[in-house]
A and B are shown apart, each in its own frame.
Chain A
């Protein structure tokens, strides 16, 4: 138990669906992140939020839309995804810059 909880753990969606991934951290951290891990690739940073403000968008397509309503919650809204978007989506949080990030267990997303 890392203190970062992601739901759902598994998600299958069609290309025309709209769904959301949820992340919650109970660590009092100031920064939250979305990472993507595709098969046989390193983890790739998607978005960084610091104190609820998006500080980085790593050239992610607009079909992925993050939302950070407060410092404990982070969402990733998904719409009109492609099959190549199937991957493990990981949420993480950290106290501040240059401290270790703690990861949730991830959401395994399959787009059909």
Chain B
């Protein structure tokens, strides 16, 4: 039973355009959501997070949107750059689990020059 799902295994975008990565979750106890970026042979790197009291959080080129009623979050990258090419994971935590992150399967983003 996958509680966090990233239904698009891959996304291809032109440099300078917007990249939109999507994530859905099923557990209504989740109250904290994160996006991580991962290059091959490296551990995930934290990008941006959002708590359930907000519906938007922005950090430079990265913006995360949270729609609690739809149990959906998205990561927008504007403008996309070739160096953004990596695997992006969304993760969620909450309820009584101490710091337990539940991850999605990941989306491979490729930004073409």
Chain A residues within 8 Å of B, Cβ to Cβ: 2, 4, 6, 31, 33, 40-45, 48, 50, 55-56, 58, 90, 92, 94, 96-106, 108
Contact B89 A97 (CB under 8 A): no
Q: Chain B interface: which size bin?
A: 20 to 34
Interface pair A42/B4, CB less than 8 Å apart: yes
Give the 3 A-B residue pairs with the shortest CB-CB distance, closest first.
A103-B43, A43-B103, A42-B103
Query: Chain B interface (Cβ within 8 Å of chain A)?
Result: 2, 4, 31-32, 34, 36, 41-46, 49, 51, 89, 91, 93-94, 97-106
Q: Which residues of B contact A42 (CB under 8 A)?
A: 2, 4, 89, 102-106
- CB neighbours (8 Å) of A4 from chain B are 43
**In the docked arrangement, what's the CA distance between A97 and B2, Å?**
22
Q: Is A97 within 8 A of B98, CB to CB?
A: yes
- The reply to whether B98 and A106 contact each other, CB–CB distance below 8 Å, is no
Report yes or no: A45 in contact with B101, Cβ–Cβ below 8 A.
yes
CA distance A2 to B36 in the complex (A): 13
A101 touches B32 (CB 8 A): no
* Least CB distance, A76 to chain B, in whole angstroms: 15
- CB pair B99–A103 under 8 Å, yes or no, is no
Bound together, the chains give a CA A105 to CA B100 distance in angstroms of 19
Tell me the smallest distance from the CB of A87 to a CB of chain B, in Å: 13
